[in-house]
Structure 1
């Protein structure tokens, strides 16, 4: 059996293998293996990993899940918000409030080409796995866990790398967002062009709504985005078929209360985008098992059982800022 066939079997039950084989929570690991700074997701269904050994190591870590109980109490009031009482009755209401607020904000200057983007993203499960990994194995790994990362705003080498059509630098993402049209349908169509889907060779192609949600999610992870552009993005997000919103704030991996915008990824999993209820910035993401099932792995690896409520991915963005140098914190 060739390596790519075994790779495709890692999530044989998922209808769109591209995102399953490269979930956002695994981006830090795969980018380190490829020697690239952490930035955006690889988006195509025909994505390749050079080493099957690396795939197995990443999958073993990423699929080791812990069931997490949501401690939020929908009867308790959430944090003070700029918009007053939140309307979480529907995606249109919640995202419309966010867009209304963002449209009133002043657009700050675009970062300079010599500046850096600082991100702090909490991933407790990944941190736990790293700390519990034997020291001798950690020494052989081409990556290490750190919640802090620095990304050059202007990365000309990456922009000019035509071999990777899915990668977008911070500057490219900023300008893509700034140029998006007002009309939600036209905006989503533009993002589907910017972040294309696979050719179907590795499994069924995404439908239009799944593609729109994935492409939009990738852009939301970029920082910074102009507030007026973020408003247009949220209004478009509300129009995607299958979008939902929890009717109360939930706890993220950093313990904060956040808005959760949801959409089913497949019949077994729900994807959630977190939004800060105070300034409506992107606050992280989570993937939750919605149906008990087993995931089969490569030959020789026992199937992994997922229980309803298990968390497959839980990332909280707790800080984001433009800084003047790598290593600098705000």
Structure 2
């Protein structure tokens, strides 16, 4: 039996492409990669492993539609729409991002009868021995979610907000970074029996928040300034390649006890959200959940175990519309 067949067995019974149904299977794989040391947060963490799940986020689309590409849209080489990059650290990089966003003219909030269109891709590590290792990337179907109608908020739990609710939550976040991060932890708490540090909870919550689409640019600016103050947050000092082949900024933080780090990926052209991924930080054997056979493999530092990217997002007038 090949490795991808075994991977699919981990989420047997989860009908694609419904992300809510796939979430438990993805969480089991993530828990396995983590070595079983982190408790499951089925209601608080699965959205981190869902590219463009009901609500996804970017800033470029605040100027229209976000249609991300691997190349500089202006053909201007290393310079960016946002200006020359500074990847020297979180304060400089995210501070510059916030300055850029604060200079934008915010568009009006979407109307309640409008829809959120998103497109993305998901990649998981194809586990093989030796050097034959790769991430299998699967393009996700386009999705349309009502922005503010009753359907958008029907059967939503307190931690799983509609696009309209998240937009307004973000707008209400305070200017002070410490107060903002406290509000994020309140909105995205840890699950029962799921130990994590305050900093880990904060970065996870910020990951959920910045994926949301759309956000006002000044709200995202406040979020980025606060993100820079989270203990352990770093900026990779060079652009990295995401699962769509694009060069992106990586905002990173080590996930305690998991042999991996979480990376929030941003466009170098306008600091919009591009995706996320988990990257192995040290060689280790992957432990499987109790009762699961197969898939015992050694993971190596640098392996990308799970990645998701968003390649397009826009506010549209009707379900089925595209920008």
TM-score (normalizing by structure 2): 0.73
Tell me the secondary structure at the aligned position of residue 17 of structure 1.
Answer: coil
Which residue in the other structure is 2:83 paired with?
A: 84
Which residue in the other structure is 1:71 paired with?
A: none
Which residue in the other structure is 2:108 paired with?
A: 109
- Superposed counterparts of 1:311-330, under 5 Å: 311-330=304-323
How many angstroms does 1:39 deviate by? 2.1
Distance across 2 between alignment mates of 1:173 and 1:24: 14
Which residue in the other structure is 1:39 paired with?
A: 54
Tell me the secondary structure at the aligned position of residue 189 of structure 1.
Answer: helix
Which residue in the other structure is 1:221 paired with?
A: 211
Alignment length, in residue pairs? 263
How many angstroms does 1:250 deviate by? 1.1
Distance across 2 between alignment mates of 1:159 and 1:228: 25
Q: 1:322 to 1:21 in 2, by over 3 A?
A: closer
Distance across 2 between alignment mates of 1:314 and 1:300: 23
Q: 1:79 to 1:120 in 2, by over 3 A?
A: farther
Q: Check whether the contact 2:121–2:310 (CA below 8 A) recurs between aligned residues.
A: yes
Which residue in the other structure is 1:57 paired with?
A: none
Specify every segment of 5 or more residues in structure 2 that has no aligned partner in the other structure, as ranges.
1-23, 57-75, 128-137
Tell me the secondary structure at the aligned position of residue 102 of structure 1.
Answer: helix
Which residue in the other structure is 2:276 paired with?
A: 285
Which residue in the other structure is 1:261 paired with?
A: 251
Selected match of 2:175 from 175, 182, 189: 182
Q: Check whether the contact 1:155–1:169 (CA below 8 A) recurs between aligned residues.
A: no
Distance across 1 between alignment mates of 2:78 and 2:181: 32
How many angstroms does 1:40 deviate by? 5.9
Cα-to-partner distance string for 1:191-242 (whole Å, 9 max, x where unaligned): 1111222232xx42x2211111111110101000000000000000000000
Q: 1:300 to 1:213 in 2, by over 3 A?
A: closer
Distance across 2 between alignment mates of 1:180 and 1:171: 15
Which residue in the other structure is 2:155 paired with?
A: 161
Distance across 1 between alignment mates of 2:180 and 2:146: 27
- Superposed counterparts of 1:137-176, under 5 Å: 146-157=140-151, 159=153, 161=155, 164-176=157-169
Distance across 2 between alignment mates of 1:221 and 1:282: 6
TM-score (normalizing by structure 1): 0.72
RMSD: 3.0
Distance across 1 between alignment mates of 2:181 and 2:191: 17
Q: Check whether the contact 1:259–1:275 (CA below 8 A) recurs between aligned residues.
A: yes
Cα-to-partner distance string for 1:253-275 (whole Å, 9 max, x where unaligned): 11111111000113401110011
Say whether 1:13 aligns with 2:36.
Answer: yes
Q: 1:172 to 1:196 in 2, by over 3 A?
A: same
